[in-house]
Chains A and B, each alone.
Chain A
Amino acid sequence: GGIITQTPKFLIGQEGQKLTLKCQQNFNHDTMYWYRQDSGKGLRLIYYSITENDLQKGDLSEGYDASREKKSSFSLTVTSAQKNEMAVFLCASRDWDSYEQYFGPGTRLTVL
């Protein structure tokens, strides 16, 4: 078994601020993901990374940067927080053989 941890659990920022969300996994999975969860819009992919130092843009990458400096961690940066960005951000990692993704508990972002 393994676990995904996300920090912080709650993040409050000011409009225009640069904010960083962090994710750690101990599954030893190669592929990791960042999703944004908005009510009525499902889970939308922001960035994913197939392996250390790899980055792939998802459908919602504009306004975000990501970093995968080591296999176990994947960070997401909101480059300039906007009020319409208030959402829950979920990190996940993928079991290669089963295609199953395992999710963290999320970071809830509020922009004032």
Chain B
Amino acid sequence: GDSVTQTEGLVTLTEGLPVMLNCTYQTIYSNPFLFWYVHYLNESPRLLLKSSTDNKRTEHQGFHATLHKSSSSFHLQKSSAQLSDSALYYCALSGGSGNKLIFGTGTLLSVKP
């Protein structure tokens, strides 16, 4: 079945350093949608960015990701971490009808001064 792998459970960074959160996936569908959701403490999870286009960079709120079907990856990046980026980040996959999202286990990003 479909699956999403986020290898880092916790990433701790100093403010100003670059962010890269890893996401790889497995699916039988040739045109999957990939998503990054962000969950700030005491808020609802919300969509950060999404893509279904191979090799096209998508950006939002300073974060960017590129779907690479050849390597089944959708890594989240940011050039310079801010304290306010501290949150739980989920990578998710939707294939087929789109009725279900398969979430990874999440990466907690902690940005320190």
A-side residues, CB < 8 A to B, are: 4, 31, 35, 40-45, 48, 50, 56, 58, 90, 94, 98-106
Question: Could you list some 24 contacts between A and B, CB below 8 A?
Answer: A4-B44, A31-B99, A40-B106, A41-B105, A42-B104, A43-B90, A43-B103, A44-B103, A45-B100, A48-B99, A50-B99, A56-B99, A90-B44, A90-B45, A99-B35, A99-B98, A100-B47, A100-B50, A102-B44, A103-B44, A103-B45, A103-B46, A105-B43, A105-B44
Give A106 to B44 CA distance when docked, in angstroms. Answer: 7
* Extra A-B contacts (13), CB below 8 Å, given A45-B100, A58-B100: A4-B44, A42-B103, A42-B105, A45-B101, A90-B44, A98-B50, A99-B35, A99-B50, A99-B94, A100-B47, A102-B44, A103-B44, A103-B45
**Residue B9 at the A interface, CB < 8 A?**
yes
Nearest chain A CB to B43 CB, angstrom units: 7
Give A48 to B33 CA distance when docked, in angstroms. Answer: 19
Given A4-B44, A90-B45, the answer on whether A40 and B105 have CB atoms closer than 8 Å is yes
Give A4 to B94 CA distance when docked, in angstroms. Answer: 21
Give A77 to B9 CA distance when docked, in angstroms. Answer: 30
**Chain B residues closer than 8 Å to A31, beta-carbon distance:** 99
**Chain B residues closer than 8 Å to A99, beta-carbon distance:** 33, 35, 50, 94, 98
**Chain A residues closer than 8 Å to B45, beta-carbon distance:** 43, 90, 103
Centre residue among B35, B46, B47 by max chain A CB count within 10 A? B47
**Chain A residues closer than 8 Å to B105, beta-carbon distance:** 40-42
CB < 8 Å A-B pair total = 49
**Chain A residues closer than 8 Å to B101, beta-carbon distance:** 45, 101
